[in-house]
Structure 1
Amino acid sequence: MMVQPPQSAPTVDSTTFWPQLSTAAAGIDAQQQLYAPNPALCELLGMGARRLEVTPLSALAPDRPELPEAFRRVLAEQRVVQLRDFVLLDAAGLPVAVDLTLSPLAEGGALLEVHTLAPAVREPNAQLSESLRGFAHEVKNPLAGLRGAAQLIARRVADEGVKELAGLIIAEADRLAQLANRLLQGSVMSPLGPVNIHEVLERVAALLVSQGQAAITRDFDPSLPLLQGDADRLTQLFLNLGRNALEAGADRLVLRSRAEHSARIHDRVAKLALRVDVIDNGRGVASELADHLFLPMVSGRADGSGLGLALCREIAGEHLGGLTYRSRAGETVFSLLLPYGESHG
């Protein structure tokens, strides 16, 4: 078990932040008593909220003094403290492997966040997985501060344009927090629900336009039905494609949606599919990358991570879809096909 050094971070306002967390979380008062546990924590430990609210912090990990000691450090230093590779006990007394984050609350006490560890996180590419998991921990606290600041701006300004931009910041902070949760929980898929693909594309367009780098044309088919999907993951996919285009020198983007009948997706044919094309006028895909563009660690930029397009294809696969492209200098088209009406398992 590793104890991470304390980090500076803004105090968390529980009234606006932790009730919305999908991460397992609860408050800890000055007497080291849990309060207001969220549903994710109740489910993780197999305890009802009433039982957890009469549970002292030390009872979560008997004979492990590091936990109450970490809480005392949070109060004394008003800093975030993390406990990695920790073990809590659930209602049946069984061990639960977790990472813990304790953050100071503005009203006193601390916020406890509990991140379960999935075995898959520690298998192949262990060094990269550990780095990503560490990144996910580190990014969530600044996101909380960013989200809180954006909320304050939205409340205090009268300018509707500024309020809209603050709303974008809040939505993106929430989306990135969800992404961090996925990294920490072994990429468990969120439940799929009805998605209006044009709302997703409008959100992506607004984010790209806010960077002031490209003109965006919308070419939407308004008759398209709702799709079963994960709106946040699809937003991530299209943002990655759009930002790749901008980094390839594009100053014009077209977002196009169509219905496609008898669409071939990999080795099967979908009776009806959604097709979304992201078209840009950038430099195109280098010929030496053409055969392995979607593989991890493949990038056309010296400073690129090589993860963006691999992630895009992964998200397409989560939706039983396919992602393809064609490219030449001055025009690159990435096409996403998503079937309507198919079971996602």
Structure 2
Amino acid sequence: MVPSRSNSQEHAVAVRHLISLEDLTDAELWSVVARGADFASGRAGAVRPLDGAVAGVYFRKTSTRTRTAFSAGALRLGGQIVSYGPDDLQLNTGETTQDTGEVFSRMLDVLVARTAGETAELRAWAGQDRMSVVNAMSADEHPTQGLTDLTTLLRQFGRIDGLRVLYIGEGNNTAAALALGLMRFERVELELRTPPGFGITEDIRAKALARAAKSGSRLVERHDMDELPVDVDAVYTSRWQTTGTSKPDPNWRELFAPFQITAALWEDSPKAVFLHDLPAHRGEEVTAEVLDGPASIAFDQAANKMYSAMAVLEWCRKGTVTAWDTDGDDLR
């Protein structure tokens, strides 16, 4: 008789997926954000929660920061990686995405995937209990960027509650994750200034406003550059040509031109830091004077992406970890 066996590897922990920030409880969100700060500061110690684990890193679209962050992060946590580019899989020869996901789940412990499409495919791959699935950017949300941004703000200010953030630019997947993440914290003010016709989606707005109603935070979106808020803590922008997308309006640059980040913004918010999810196009969404100037923490923000990726991978394997604090006091 052939002995029975499991259809997959044995896992000592529950499988956890990150497809959207909405998938995380408040405690899980805070834990991952704070744990990213732990890793960045060296407070996490030498932990190896991915010992014996294999992470697949699958990117259909270009990536510098996210792909490197998860690859380096997995290796630093003791894991091994298998990396796939857009032309590496039998999907290109007609294999169904369902069959591809089934195979992945029987060989990998974690799959980090950037499809730049809708999240339905990622959720289908997450419909099993063998392999964690992490959304490394889809068309509607960039959750790992949102976690990086929260970790960056936490490291910069020692808190997230009560911050005032001004986001200027397209209401893309980065803006969506920023709104969904920030509205989970208390007394946060997030003002989005997006070009007409290029705001966040109604679905994202509704979810963020629902979070704001519970936390006492405030979300505002306008489609002009008049009467900007003053004394904000952070100014944020993203590239105008989001990876994997195109603009339906051939004259979109005319609409976007007034939304460029220039040094003039610091006249009313002299202490604000500047964030950018990168890559940046100097002279388009931001001037070189700002991106390379003293207010910019964009490259520190990029470095935090690896630490945030490590926190996500650890959460996938271990769940909620004790959050970063100061002298034993919760920073929230």
Which category of TM-score, normalised to the shorter sequence, fits these structures? under 0.3
TM-score by length of 2: 0.24
- Greater relative contact order (Cα < 8 A, sep 6+): 2
TM-score by length of 1: 0.23
User: Which has the greater radius of gyration?
Assistant: 1
Higher strand proportion (structure 1 or 2): 1
